Amino acid sequence: MFDADPVAESQAAPWPELDLRVLQIDRRSVPPPFPLEVFPAPWRPWIEGHAQASPCLDYIAQALLAAVAAACGSRFVVDVTAQWREPLVLWQALVGAPSTGKTPAVVAARHLLGSVEAPDDPADPRRAQPGDGVATAWFVHRGMSMWHDDLEAWLAEISTDRRERGLTVACWSGDRSHGDSNAVEVGHQVMRAPVSVFGSFQADRLTERLGEIDEALSSRLLYCWPVPRLDARLDGAPVAEEGVRVLMQRLVDLPGTVAQPTALALQPAAAQRLQDLLPRLRAFMRDAEGLEAAWIGKAAGTIVRLAGLLSLMDWAAGEHDSCLVIGEPQFVRAQALWTDYFWPHAEAVFGQAASTIGERRVRRVARWLKRMRPDAVSREEVRRDALGKTVDADAAESVIERLEGYGALRLLKPQTSGGRPRRRWEVNPELWTG
The secondary structure element, H or E, covering residue 263 is strand 262-266
Whether 200 and 106 map to the same domain: the answer is yes
CATH of the domain at 102: 3.40.50
Which residues does residue 400 pair with via DSSP β-bridges, in sequence order?
A: none
The secondary structure element, H or E, covering residue 282 is helix 268-287
As a whole number of Å, the CA-based R_g of the chain is 25
Please indicate, yes or no, if residue 318 is contained in any of the structural domains. yes
CATH of the domain at 413: 1.10.10.10
- What is the pLDDT, as a whole number, of residue 119? 65
Under DSSP, is residue 336 helix (H, G, I), strand (E, B) or coil? helix
Using 50, 70 and 90 to split pLDDT, how confident is the model at 28? low
Report the side by side order of strands in the sheet with 425-427.
Answer: 376-377, 425-427, 409-411
Domain stop point among 350, 382, 399: 350
The more confident residue out of 37 and 434 is 37
User: Range of 312's domain?
Assistant: 30-350
- What is the pLDDT, as a whole number, of residue 138? 44
User: Once rounded to an integer, what is the mean pLDDT over residues 380-388?
Assistant: 91
- What is the pLDDT, as a whole number, of residue 181? 46
User: Once rounded to an integer, what is the mean pLDDT over residues 31-44?
Assistant: 94
Whether 297 and 375 map to the same domain: the answer is no
DSSP state, 53? T
Domain stop point among 300, 325, 350: 350
Please indicate, yes or no, if residue 80 is contained in any of the structural domains. yes
At residue 121, does pLDDT exceed 90?
no
Model confidence over 295-340: pLDDT tens digits?
A: 999 999 999 999 999 999 999 999 888 889 999 999 999 999 999 9
- How far does Cα 2 stand from its chain's mean position? 55
Domain stop point among 350, 367, 389: 350
- What is the pLDDT, as a whole number, of residue 347? 86
Under DSSP, is residue 112 helix (H, G, I), strand (E, B) or coil? helix
Model confidence over 272-304: pLDDT tens digits?
A: 999 999 999 999 898 888 888 999 999 999 999
Whether 18 and 47 map to the same domain: the answer is no
User: Once rounded to an integer, what is the mean pLDDT over residues 32-59?
Assistant: 92
Please indicate, yes or no, if residue 328 is contained in any of the structural domains. yes
| Cα–Cα distance measured from residue 155 to residue 212, given in angstroms and rounded to the nearest whole number | 8
At residue 126, does pLDDT exceed 50?
no
C-alpha torsion 104→107→108→110, nearest 10: 160
Please indicate, yes or no, if residue 1 is contained in any of the structural domains. no
At residue 177, does pLDDT exceed 80?
no
| Cα–Cα distance measured from residue 246 to residue 243, given in angstroms and rounded to the nearest whole number | 5
Whether 92 and 120 map to the same domain: the answer is yes
Model confidence over 222-231: pLDDT tens digits?
A: 999 998 877 7
At residue 232, does pLDDT exceed 80?
no
Neighbours of 122 (CB within 10 A): 6
Whether 158 and 289 map to the same domain: the answer is yes
At residue 246, does pLDDT exceed 50?
yes
Number of domains in the chain: 2
Whether 179 and 267 map to the same domain: the answer is yes
